[in-house]
Amino acid sequence: MKYFINDDIALSRPPEGPVASYIIPFADWLADRGYGLVSMRNQVLMAAGFSKWLGHKGIELSDISEDHPGRYLLDRAQRPKLGNTAALRHLLAFLRSQNAIAEEIEADHNPSQVEQHVQAYERYLRDAGALARETIINYRPVVRDFLNFRFSDGEVSLAQLRAVDVTDFVQRKVSRLNMRRAKIITTALRSFLSYARYRGDITSDLAAAVPIVANWSLSSIPRGIGRDEVTRLLASIDRDTPVGCRDYAMILALARLGLRSSEVIMLELDDIDWAAGQIHVVGKNGQRKDLPLPADVGEAIADYLWKARPRNASRRVFLRDKAPIQGFTGPCGLGSVNPTLTQEGRHRLSHKGSPPVPTWACLRDAARRRLVGEIGDVLGHRHVQTTAIYAKVDLDALRTPALPWPGEAQ
């Protein structure tokens, strides 16, 4: 007699073992994340087999560990198939979300002294500093390289650090890097040295010894693409497909509002005030700002929400098109977006010699250039360089009307 999981999935017999009561909720969990019927059926069958195996081995639910899926696949008579490992990984993730099993514990690989310091610093950034995950990912390798550079013998003693160690490391590293990456290195190093002083590992202010990377104003040409290139890209997207409809709205928001990629992917349904024609954006450090919602951007987002957005409980405006159906996992997740272009659109872009998809930073910079150009038009400037002169800020003049800072510090 068959045991029905739902209207489309059935097992030859009721599930057994410690995970048996979670099989049906697991199927619902997969459906909520947009997995197709075939994938859901395979994952449910795998979960049922794994649960039965756990029961035969006498393994309780609370004792399930990361090693058990691999042991189960080795014990099975069937030849392993593509997706088996992923199915069991999804099952364990579901069980953790239900607090049925313990959170994954990273194996102790006897980390080196350098790695121990890196991990302690990472915990500090995550817990005390509350820094974004992307920032921590950028800082971590810099600190690791610095400690390996200074303590190559493996014995790490931060008290032995001197200013010359800092300057030698920076000079060696930044000579081969572009401006942006060089500034990440110096910023990360200052952060780590300030952290080490805070812990008492060093007594002097070595963060002040980190050289400053020169960054001359107006020394480089903006990376933004031209207005005509943006127009050609938007006209080339196939908006008749759900993915194209989404990508058009995202790219238009980037190009028209000058948003960061993180601000676009983190946009939620409640952030759009349709009645007031405004959009609420969460920027860096959680700072919120209200921007006017241009009519064409609003129409593009509404078109996506009405016609193409998958039915999903997520409050994010823009969702992934592949399972699991959810919001993008981070700003770097936007890099996986590859706009669906019409055949005519691909030919048009190729004919013009433009890359099919500019970087997301290029689209943000395109908005900057457009705004500078519009300001120049109002002021009657013939060249962008003239407008840039008036965009400079007189800091000394601004200090005059500024209110005094409370306390002694200025």
Please state whether beta strands 272-273 and 278-282 pair in parallel, antiparallel, or not at all (unpaired): antiparallel
The reply to whether 102 falls in a domain is: no
Tell me the average pLDDT across 60-64: 86
* SS3 of residue 98 by DSSP: coil
Number of domains in the chain: 3
Extended beta strands in 233-335, E state: 272-273, 278-282, 288-292
pLDDT category at 299 given cuts 50, 70, 90 is very high
pLDDT category at 355 given cuts 50, 70, 90 is very low
The reply to whether 405 falls in a domain is: no
Considering the domain architecture, whether residues 271 and 368 belong to the same structural domain is answered as yes
pTM: 0.49
* SS3 of residue 3 by DSSP: strand
The pLDDT of residue 70: 82
| pLDDT over 60 at 353, yes or no | no
The reply to whether 142 falls in a domain is: yes
The pLDDT of residue 152: 82
* Chain center to CA of 359: 15
The reply to whether 216 falls in a domain is: no
pLDDT category at 263 given cuts 50, 70, 90 is confident
- Nearest Cα to Cα of residue 29 among 357, 396, 324: 324
* SS3 of residue 80 by DSSP: coil
The pLDDT of residue 221: 47
Cβ proximity of 215 and 174 under 8 Å: no
Considering the domain architecture, whether residues 159 and 200 belong to the same structural domain is answered as yes
The pLDDT of residue 306: 93
Considering the domain architecture, whether residues 171 and 131 belong to the same structural domain is answered as yes
Give the structural domain span for 238.
Answer: 227-390
Tell me the average pLDDT across 253-273: 85
The reply to whether 63 falls in a domain is: yes
- Domain endpoint, select from 183, 209, 235: 209
Tell me the average pLDDT across 354-383: 59
Considering the domain architecture, whether residues 19 and 76 belong to the same structural domain is answered as yes
Type and span of the H or E element at 256: helix 242-257
Higher-confidence residue of 329 and 211: namely: 211
Higher-confidence residue of 400 and 67: namely: 67
Considering the domain architecture, whether residues 232 and 334 belong to the same structural domain is answered as yes
- Domain endpoint, select from 209, 236, 256: 209
Considering the domain architecture, whether residues 285 and 379 belong to the same structural domain is answered as yes
Considering the domain architecture, whether residues 255 and 371 belong to the same structural domain is answered as yes
| pLDDT over 90 at 314, yes or no | no
Considering the domain architecture, whether residues 336 and 272 belong to the same structural domain is answered as yes
The pLDDT of residue 86: 86
pLDDT category at 257 given cuts 50, 70, 90 is confident
Strand partners, 237: 341
Considering the domain architecture, whether residues 118 and 87 belong to the same structural domain is answered as no
Look at 176-180, 357-361, 367-371 and tell me which has the smallest mean pLDDT. Answer: 357-361
The reply to whether 323 falls in a domain is: yes
Note the pLDDT tens digit of each residue in 144-195: 989 999 888 678 899 999 999 999 998 888 776 677 778 888 999 999 999 9
Check which CATH number belongs to the domain holding 298 and give it: 1.10.443.10
The pLDDT of residue 12: 84
Note the pLDDT tens digit of each residue in 119-141: 899 888 877 766 766 678 778 88
The pLDDT of residue 366: 64
The pLDDT of residue 36: 83
| pLDDT over 80 at 395, yes or no | no
Burial 126-135 (b: 16+ CB within 10 A, else e): eeebebbeee
364 CB neighbour count, 10 Å cutoff = 20
Cα separation values, 2 from 25, 28, 46, 268, Å: 18, 19, 17, 42
The reply to whether 106 falls in a domain is: no
Look at 54-63, 117-126, 328-337 and tell me which has the smallest mean pLDDT. Answer: 328-337
The pLDDT of residue 222: 46
Tell me the average pLDDT across 391-408: 58
The pLDDT of residue 271: 92
The pLDDT of residue 130: 62
Check which CATH number belongs to the domain holding 130 and give it: 1.10.150
Considering the domain architecture, whether residues 66 and 119 belong to the same structural domain is answered as no
Structure tokens of 3? 């045991």
Look at 74-83, 255-264, 343-352, 376-385 and tell me which has the smallest mean pLDDT. Answer: 343-352
* SS3 of residue 33 by DSSP: coil
- Domain endpoint, select from 209, 236, 262: 209
Cβ proximity of 293 and 278 under 8 Å: yes
Burial 243-258 (b: 16+ CB within 10 A, else e): bbbbbbbbbbbbbbbb
Cα separation values, 17 from 51, 78, 159, 217, Å: 5, 20, 55, 66
The pLDDT of residue 113: 87
Considering the domain architecture, whether residues 371 and 258 belong to the same structural domain is answered as yes
Considering the domain architecture, whether residues 373 and 235 belong to the same structural domain is answered as yes
* SS3 of residue 390 by DSSP: helix
| pLDDT over 50 at 349, yes or no | no
Cα separation values, 394 from 98, 197, 338, 391, 400, Å: 57, 35, 43, 10, 11
Report whether the peptide linkage leading into residue 355 is cis, meaning its omega lies within 30 degrees of zero.
no
The reply to whether 158 falls in a domain is: yes
Q: What's the mean pLDDT when you consider all of the chain?
A: 78
